[in-house]
């Protein structure tokens, strides 16, 4: 069932390293709505011995973890990391080496701003059997639930996913990001929103370019706030927009007024983080 792999030490080409008896699945839990969880992700969760989960995993998904499984909250918020990333990486190796079926459960997709690549590098280096189960990333899920097509023949021929953790005057290629005919999606960028908008305009993007802030997208708490690069939503200045929020910039945002289909108040809408799930021991020993 699990795709075992053998990694040969290039220094000793005739020697096959001893395989780890356990396994690790890097699982994407999707953007919030628990019904967006994939079937393969569901199967791995209900069969897990150990689950290490992040902050942005819906409470409904956490209820799928078997009662007998060990579960650990290792989530991160801005300037507040419950467990250092290096410790998470090593814990995955340690659990797998005891023969456990380990699920590393992440919001969105493990390989899109989820540090799944770092974790997999450590696992591969330690000859751990590992697989990646993609999830619907926040850009795709939240934009869809806000009625914003990320690409459109008339408005955007490409889309870029960008980290919002920026250093002013730093490494971003603003001239490239400010090109017309594309959609920009910034993850984790709410605290730098004004700097992002100013930088894009300074490098040529039109000031009237639409902007959307999607808070707690795909869940019953979803809020969509729209404005432009020079006229940000009032909720931003009032402090009414909280984390997690996604920033979408581009002409496609204007379509939301007509294509917005999702009603968070509709019976049956569910998802996001139950605060109680955070009150779990972070010891990974």
pLDDT at position 80: 56
Q: What is the rounded distance in angstroms from the CA atom of residue 282 to the CA atom of residue 285?
A: 9
Q: Tens digit of pLDDT for each residue in 78-123? A: 555 568 999 999 999 999 999 999 999 999 999 999 999 999 999 9
- Tell me which of 33, 40, 49, 76 is the catalytic residue: 76
Domains and CATH numbers, the chain: 23-136 (3.40.1010.10), 139-259 (3.30.950.10)
Q: Tens digit of pLDDT for each residue in 150-163? A: 999 999 999 999 99
pLDDT at position 243: 82
Taking the alpha carbons of 14, 18, 22, 25 in that order, is the dihedral positive or negative? negative
Q: Tens digit of pLDDT for each residue in 215-266? A: 999 999 999 999 999 998 776 777 778 889 999 999 999 999 999 999 988 8
- Tell me which of 33, 49, 54, 109 is the catalytic residue: 54
Q: What is the model's pTM?
A: 0.85
Peptide bond into 244 cis (omega under 30): yes
Of the two residues 47 and 76, the one the predictor is more confident about is: 47
Asked if pLDDT for residue 10 goes beyond 80, the answer is: no
Q: What is the rounded distance in angstroms from the CA atom of residue 284 to the CA atom of residue 266?
A: 39
Annotation marks residue 54 as catalytic: yes
Residue 145 CA, chain-centre distance (Å), reads: 16
If you average pLDDT over residues 38-47, what whole number do you get? 97
């Amino acid at each position: 069932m699990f795709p075992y792999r053998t990694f040969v030490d290039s220094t000793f080409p005739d020697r096959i390293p001893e395989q780890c008896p356990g396994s690790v699945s890097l699982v994407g839990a999707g953007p919030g709505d628990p019904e967006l969880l994939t079937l393969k992700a569901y199967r791995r969760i209900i069969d897990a011995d150990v689950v290490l989960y992040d902050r942005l995993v819906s409470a409904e998904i956490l209820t799928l973890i078997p009662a007998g499984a060990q579960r650990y909250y290792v989530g991160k918020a801005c300037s507040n990391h419950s467990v250092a990333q290096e410790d998470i990486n090593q814990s995955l190796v340690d659990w797998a080496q005891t023969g456990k079926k380990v699920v590393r459960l992440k919001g969105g997709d493990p390989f899109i701003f989820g540090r799944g690549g770092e974790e997999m590098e450590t696992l591969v280096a330690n000859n751990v059997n590992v697989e990646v189960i993609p999830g619907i990333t926040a850009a795709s899920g939240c934009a869809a639930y806000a009625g914003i097509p990320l690409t459109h023949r008339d408005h955007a021929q490409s889309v870029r996913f960008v980290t919002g953790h920026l250093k002013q005057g730093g490494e971003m290629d603003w001239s490239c990001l400010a090109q017309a005919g594309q959609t920009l999606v910034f993850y984790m960028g709410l605290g730098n929103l004004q700097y992002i908008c100013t930088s894009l305009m300074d490098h040529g993007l039109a000031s009237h370019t639409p902007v959307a802030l999607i808070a707690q997208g795909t869940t019953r708490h979803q809020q969509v706030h729209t404005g432009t690069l020079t006229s940000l939503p009032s909720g931003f200045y009032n402090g009414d927009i909280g984390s997690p929020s996604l920033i979408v910039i581009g002409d496609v945002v204007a379509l939301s007024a007509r294509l917005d289909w999702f009603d968070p108040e509709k019976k049956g809408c569910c998802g996001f983080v139950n605060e109680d799930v955070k009150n779990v021991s972070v010891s990974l020993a």
